[in-house]
Copies of this chain bind each other. A is one copy, B any other.
Amino acid sequence: MLSLHQLRCFLATYEHGSLTAAAEELGYAQPSVSEQVRALEKTLGVPLFRRVGRGVVPTTLADTLRPYAEQAIAASEEARRAVQSAVSLESGTIRFGMFGAARLYAGAQIVADVLERYPGVRVELIGQHSNEVQEQLRRGHLEAALIAATSVESEGMTVTPVARDELVYISADPSRLRSPVTAARLARASLIMPETTWRSSDSVRILLRRFLHEAGHNPQTRIEVEEAEISVDLVGRGLGDSVIPRAAAEQLVPRLAPNVGWVSLRPKQYDVMAIVHRRGAVLSPAAQVLIEIATRHIRSIAEPV
């Protein structure tokens, strides 16, 4: 089988026209290089050098081989460099999981920050929703992620809470925003909720469900949509009210539905944002960088835990 080592010996010999000189350049003894070149000739089944007097002379087949050998060697060296620079974050990809809502109001800024610090890097923010992200983590497709975690424990995962964000009740009707919304009032409200697909595991839903249950009520929604933006838009049109994290409200409401206001729940409810990764995993520099930046960001727009 062809090997890079053989090609390296071949090229050095070709360039110097001498096995001895090639050996010196490569830091080997002369017979070693001789052996490698002979092995290459054997695997290719052709003579590459004529042994003539003292010295060796490349055949035309060696001329034919040379450019390919150079390309293979070059590719292997570039591979080294590329990987090294990816490690040092001069290039390469940082892949990080992030749930939908966080992407909405922090994603862009996080990407911008990473790029400012590491201009050569590619950034991928993966995942629509924290549960999907958690699944990818479990499967190893993601190294780490920022998720909205209902509980701070998760099997086989290390979860590090970063910040909490209050859930607020949003409505286009100012009369409903005069005082904090209790479970009783929430149970009577006509709710528009996003994340339909994840309805059973979405952390906001879980919080609300618990909130209502504890007061003896059952949750009920009027309208189910997929995107948080759409639910805010619908709330703006007066078709119902909703409950979303405050940071999301601050981000989406002015843009999509300026007539909408918000008020706390009573008692206040908090969605916890956490960094999560496989237990015992060694995080790459890239992941560590993104964790650091994401953490700082989330803390700047939400309350510390």
Q: Which residues of A contact B (CB under 8 A)?
A: 1-5, 7, 44-47, 50, 52-53, 55-57, 59-61, 63-65, 68-69, 71-72, 75-76, 78-80, 82-84, 86-87, 91-95, 139-141, 143, 278, 281-282, 284, 286
| Given A44-B80, A53-B139, A57-B141, CB of A3 within 8 Å of CB of B2 | no
Docked-complex contact B140 and A50, CB < 8 angstroms: yes
Q: A284 to chain B: which residues have CB within 8 Å?
A: 47, 59-61
Docked-complex contact B60 and A86, CB < 8 angstroms: yes
Docked-complex contact A79 and B46, CB < 8 angstroms: no
Docked-complex contact B83 and A46, CB < 8 angstroms: yes
Docked-complex contact B63 and A93, CB < 8 angstroms: yes
Q: A64 to chain B: which residues have CB within 8 Å?
A: 82-83, 86, 91-93
| Given A57-B139, A140-B50, CB of A2 within 8 Å of CB of B79 | yes
Partner of A72, one of B55, B72, B278: B72
Q: A282 to chain B: which residues have CB within 8 Å?
A: 47
CB distance from A68 to the nearest CB of B (A): 3
Q: A82 to chain B: which residues have CB within 8 Å?
A: 64-65, 68
| Given A64-B82, A83-B46, CB of A52 within 8 Å of CB of B140 | yes
Docked-complex contact B86 and A61, CB < 8 angstroms: yes
Complex Cα gap A166–B82 (Å): 67
Q: Which 10 A-B pairs have the closest CB atoms?
A: A52-B140, A68-B79, A72-B75, A57-B140, A71-B75, A60-B93, A64-B86, A50-B140, A2-B76, A72-B76
Known A3-B5, A45-B87; 13 more pairs at CB < 8 Å: A1-B5, A2-B4, A2-B76, A2-B79, A2-B80, A4-B72, A44-B80, A56-B140, A57-B139, A60-B94, A64-B92, A68-B78, A72-B75
CB distance from A117 to the nearest CB of B (A): 17
Q: A69 to chain B: which residues have CB within 8 Å?
A: 75, 79
CB distance from A75 to the nearest CB of B (A): 4
Q: A63 to chain B: which residues have CB within 8 Å?
A: 93
CB distance from A217 to the nearest CB of B (A): 40
Interface pairs (6), CB distance under 8 Å: A2-B4, A7-B79, A44-B80, A60-B286, A64-B83, A72-B72
Complex Cα gap A80–B55 (Å): 25
Q: A76 to chain B: which residues have CB within 8 Å?
A: 2, 4, 7, 68, 72
Complex Cα gap A47–B87 (Å): 10
Complex Cα gap A71–B65 (Å): 16
CB distance from A110 to the nearest CB of B (A): 17
CB closest chain-B residue, reference A72: B75
CB closest chain-B residue, reference A1: B5
Complex Cα gap A146–B81 (Å): 50
CB distance from A69 to the nearest CB of B (A): 6
